[in-house]
Amino acid sequence: MAGTASANTDSELGDLPEWDLRDLYPAPDSPELQGDLERARQQARQLRQDYEGRIAELHGDSLAVAVERYEAIEEMLGRLMSYAQLTYSGDMTDPETGRFFQSMQEEATTISSDLIFFTLEINALSDEALNARVAESSRLAHYWPWLRDVRAMRPYQLSDELERFINDKQVTGRGAWTRLFDETMASLRFPLDGEQLTSSEILNKLSSPSEETRRKAGKTFGEKLGEHVPTFAHIHNTLIKDKAIEDQWRGFERPVSSRNLANHVEDEVVDALVSAVRESYPRLSHRYYRLKAKWLGKDTLAYWDRNAPLPEDDDRTVPWGEARSTVLNAYAAFSPRMAEIGQHFFDKSWIDAPTRAGKAPGAFSHPTVPSAHPYVLLNYQGRTRDVMTLAHELGHGVHQYLAGQHQGALMADTPLTLAETASVFGEMLTFQRMLANERDPGRRKVMLAGKVEDMINTVVRQIAFHTFEARLHEERKHGEILASRIGEIWLETQREALGEVFSFDEEYQNFWAYIPHFIHVPFYVYAYAFGDCLVNSLYAVYEQAESGFAEQYLEMLAAGGTKRHRELLAPFGLDAADPGFWYKGLGLIERFIDELEQYD
Residues in CB range of 452: below 8 A, 6 or more apart: 288, 589, 592, 593, 596
Confidence of residue 5 (pLDDT cuts 50, 70, 90): very low
Q: Set out the domains of the chain in order of their start, with CATH numbers.
A: 20-172 (1.20.140.70), 176-189+209-313+459-520 (1.10.1370.20), 320-457+525-597 (1.10.1370.30)
Phi, psi of 283 (to 5 degrees): -80, -15
**What is the model's pLDDT at position 164?**
85
* Structural contact between residues 310 and 449, judged by C-beta atoms closer than 8 angstroms: yes
* Structural contact between residues 160 and 183, judged by C-beta atoms closer than 8 angstroms: no
Phi, psi of 196 (to 5 degrees): -110, 105
Q: Is the pLDDT of residue 342 over 80?
A: yes
Question: What is the rounded average pLDDT for all residues in the chain?
Answer: 93
**What is the model's pLDDT at position 578?**
82
d(CA 68, CA 142): 11
d(CA 567, CA 529): 20
- Report pTM: 0.85
End-to-end Cα, the chain, rounded Å: 48
For the chain, the C-alpha Rg in angstroms (whole number) is: 24
d(CA 276, CA 154): 31
Q: What is the DSSP code (8-state) at residue 4?
A: S
* Alpha-carbon distance values, 421 to 145, 242, 395, 417 (Å): 20, 31, 8, 8
* Structural contact between residues 565 and 576, judged by C-beta atoms closer than 8 angstroms: yes
* Structural contact between residues 268 and 469, judged by C-beta atoms closer than 8 angstroms: no
Phi, psi of 161 (to 5 degrees): -65, -45
d(CA 18, CA 36): 25
* Alpha-carbon distance values, 522 to 177, 244, 256, 518 (Å): 13, 11, 8, 5
* Structural contact between residues 88 and 100, judged by C-beta atoms closer than 8 angstroms: yes
**What is the model's pLDDT at position 8?**
64
Alpha helices by DSSP H, listed for 136-210, are 138-141, 144-151, 160-169, 174-187, 199-205
Tell me which of 164 and 277 has the higher pLDDT.
277
**What is the model's pLDDT at position 478?**
96
d(CA 249, CA 242): 11
Report the SS3 class of residue 62. helix
pLDDT in tens, 380-403: 999 888 999 999 999 999 999 999
Average pLDDT of 206-225? 96
Q: What is the DSSP code (8-state) at residue 490?
A: H
User: What amino acid is encoded at 14 in this protein?
Assistant: G
* Structural contact between residues 293 and 501, judged by C-beta atoms closer than 8 angstroms: yes
Beta strands in 324-435 (DSSP E): 351-352, 364-366, 375-377
pLDDT in tens, 431-474: 998 888 888 888 889 889 999 999 999 999 999 999 999 999 99
**What is the model's pLDDT at position 7?**
53
